[in-house]
Amino acid sequence: MPAPTLPDLTLVRTLGRNTDVLVVGLTDSGPLGVPDDVEKAYAKRYGIGVGEMATTLGAKAAHGSASVLPAAGDGPRVITVGLGGDIPTPEDLRRAAGVGVRKAGSLASETSLSVAVSLGNDEPEAVQAIAEGALLGSYRYAPVSSTPPPASVDAISVVCADAGRAPDLNTAVQTASTVSLAVATAREWVNIPPNLLYPESFAEEARTLAKDARIAVEVLDEKALARAGYGGILAVGGGSSRLPRLVRYSYAPRGATFHLALVGKGITFDSGGLNIKPADGMYTMKCDMAGAAVVLAATHAIARLGLKIKVTAYGALAENLPSDTAYRPSDVLTMYGGKTVENSNCDAEGRLVMADALVRAGEDGPNLIIDVATLTGACVVALGDRTGGLMSNDEETADRLLDAAESAGEDFWQLPIPREIRPKLDSLVADIRSTSAERSGGALVAAAFLRDFIAPDLPWAHLDIAGPAFHSGEAFGYVAPGGTGVGVRTLVALARSLEGPTPA
């Protein structure tokens, strides 16, 4: 399957002659980022400037709003995007750029458009945010169709007065391109139908992605998994004719002293197994491999950026289907490393494949393990569909992740693992049960289960992205319907904060 493509991205001081659409900001106090020549063209053609034209046509400064203004002569169409107050945050700029570029794409007819984004901020952090928002706002999943996709946006320029004079700005734009492509890759994998993306094909996708980076790839098939004793992955994947895989990425640049391990849940389709889901709950379950998509795509971005940090990433890939070879409630599974698990619900399969991969990742001797998974509906109930849950055995690690998420513009909220949770997983027939007999605190119970497969002195954090990994509604900000790629930007920001000498 072809990799996703994003528009060409450039940093410019002035608008190019071939610019079809210009995106500018609108705050409560007026427009931001309107080039002088565009302002003069509006005054000459209409007798009023861009700001007054926007007000006349009812344009709003509210976040998420976008209004199309008429062109002034031969100049570009102008779109105003709401920035709210007078001092927009990087995330405000990221979202506004996404709204503007998506709106611009809707103006395309037979040919694709060149779009310039000018939001009046020249700081490197802001420029990176604008570039990321613009690129991610342009993303569209190309449907499996005999009809070619419609024209949209094929070139984006970010207008900045210091373009070409400040190296930090060029670095910001290059980083935005790499990170945005990683997010788009994760989105694309999530959006691929499950009959086309299954454990074997996903593993090959991951192998192909790594070819242009200094990443060593290892893929364990069902025979290798059986020889090594990966009882969780084999049990979950045993009900499908498309057998499981474990993908291992290893990026080890010279000079790196910190070792980060990443583990992602890769259930390419989750029917619930013998605890089968209702029809409505099954439809979007192609997204249940989003955790694996995120950690593999993020590792690729970290390698492409050349960050001085060692990263080992695991994608635990399986398809959870009911059949005569499917695992059962009350089965006792021997996991990788020897711990036994009493399976109490075949629709709690993600924690089983994750447990195998977490133990294996711990053998690599990392300084920190982060796992990412669409793990529990309980986390969605607690935090909604745009905020991920964060649980950890180490407060310093939790703080680092929250800082990384904030800098990346992604929303995570820390939840506890109270001491009374672990006894709910006690089993009479195995070392641990996979779920509690009680319904309360489901996200916390799942995290407590995963923590049992982490060495006591190893810092670890769990990101439950069951809510924000897949968006079923109308597009917002830079997020289109379908896979969101949430978590990629946070992991890259975390890796950047940890590179070089071992952090204190």
Catalytic residues: 277, 351
What is the DSSP code string of 264-291? EEEEEEE--TTSPPPHHHHTTGGGGGHH
What backbone phi and psi angles, to 5 degrees, belong to 416?
-85, 165
Distance CA 93, CA 133 (A): 7
E strands of 76-192, at which residues? 77-84, 113-118, 153-159
How many other C-beta atoms are found inside a 10 Å radius of the C-beta of residue 442?
A: 20
E strands of 90-191, at which residues? 113-118, 153-159
Angle between helix axes 199-209 and 167-191 (nearest 10 degrees) is: 160
How does strand 153-159 pair with strand 216-220? unpaired
Distance CA 47, CA 43 (A): 4
Nearest-CA neighbor of 374 among 351, 345, 358? 351
For residue 469, CA distances in Å to 183, 285, 383, 465, 482 come to: 11, 11, 13, 5, 8
Listed in sequence order, the DSSP H helices in 106-166 are 124-138
How many other C-beta atoms are found inside a 10 Å radius of the C-beta of residue 40?
A: 13
Q: Using CA of residue 45, residue 48, residue 51, residue 53, what is the dihedral sign?
A: negative
Distance CA 488, CA 295 (A): 7
